[in-house]
Chain A
C-alpha cells in the first residue's frame, strides 16, 4: 500500500517552485513529451499532489529519462510547470540518496 506524506508538498518547496497543486491532470504534458511514455510526467506530478513520496522514490530512476527540454512546461494549460517539478524531484531524490 502507498504511504502518503501529507507534508510532502511542503517539503518539495525546498527543491522547486510550488506549482504542483495547479495541475488538474489533463495529460497535455504526457501527450507532448518527446519520451512518448504513457504516464510520464503526469503521474509523477500526481504523486506529488497526493504526497506519495514512497512511490516517487520507488520509481526514481525514471525521473532521469526527462531531458529537461521544457516542452511540457511550454504547453501546460495550468502553468503548473511540470518540467521544473521533475527537476525538483530529481533534486529531492539526490538529497535522499546522499542522506541514506
Chain B
C-alpha cells in the first residue's frame, strides 16, 4: 500500500497546475472528437469529464505502481511531483500505448452514434469538457476538490451551459449532487442512456450488467440502462448483487493499493462470471479494473451500438 498522503499530494498538485490529475496536457488527453463531425450548438452539451480518456493512463501508471507496491522503492513516489515519469506528466503520456487510447476513444464515438440515432439535439465543446475533480473528493481533499469544482462550474456558467449529457457515473454524481452543494451551480444533468430512444435490435440475448456504485446506489439509476438494453432485445441476467446493493469493482482502490483493487475486483468478477453471460460495464473505472483481471468486458455503449449496424 502506498502512503495516501503522497498520492493525494501528487494528484492535488497536478490538478492545481494543469487541471488534470495526471498532469497531462488537455490537448493530448482529449482527442477522440476530432473526426466525429460534432458541432458546438444544440440544446445540450456532451460532457465526458475525461474519465474514459484517462483509463489508458491509469492502467499504465498502476502497472508501475503495482510493481513497486510494498517495496522500498515506493518512497520514490514522494518525488513524483518533480520527476515526470510513470506517475504523471509527459512521461506517463509517452509510455501509454496509442492502441489503448483508441480503444477508449471508440466508446465515446459509440455514445455519439447512439445519441444521434435517438435524435438528441446536442453539441460538443472540447475546451469546456474538463475533469470534474471527483478523485480528490473521494480521497478526502475537500479543499482541493471545491477549488477545482468552482473553477469548472464558473467556466460552464459563463459559457451559458444549462444542460449536460454525461457518460460515466463519477462525473454524473459530481455534477448532479456535488456541484450544487459545493459550488452552488445547478445544471440539468443526464447520463446519455437516459436520452436513448432506440427500439429493435438484432435478436434476443442476455448479458451480465455490472451496476457501478454511483449509478446503482448513490443515484438509483440502474433500471434505466437495463431498459435501454431491453428495448434492443438484450436482457440482463439476474444478479444477487445489483442495483442499490451492487458490489464494488474494486477500481477506486487502485491509486493507493493496486493489490486491494485486484482482490475486491476478483470477488465481483466471480459473481458476474457465475451468470455465464457476457459481462457489460458502464463505468470506465469498472471497465478498466475488471479487464485488468483478464475478463472480457464490454462497455454498455459498445453493446448498444452493435445493434445499430
Chain A interface (Cβ within 8 Å of chain B)? 15, 34-35, 60-61, 63-65, 67-71, 74-75, 87, 89-91, 93-95, 97
Contacts and interface: CB of A to CB of B under 8 A. Distances in A.
12 contacts: A34-B248, A60-B4, A61-B3, A65-B1, A67-B264, A71-B245, A74-B217, A87-B138, A91-B142, A94-B8, A94-B140, A94-B141
Interface in B127-145: 138-143
B256 interface: yes
Given A70-B218, A90-B140, A65 B213 contact: no
A34 B213 CA distance: 12
Nearest to A90: B140
Given A63-B4, A97-B5, 13 more contacts: A34-B267, A61-B4, A64-B1, A64-B4, A65-B1, A67-B248, A69-B217, A71-B248, A74-B245, A87-B140, A91-B140, A93-B140, A94-B139
A74 to B, nearest CB: 6
Contacts, number: 69
Contacts of A97: 5
Contacts of A60: 4
B213 A70 contact: yes
B260 interface: yes
B3 A90 contact: no
Contacts of A34: 247-248, 250, 264, 267-268
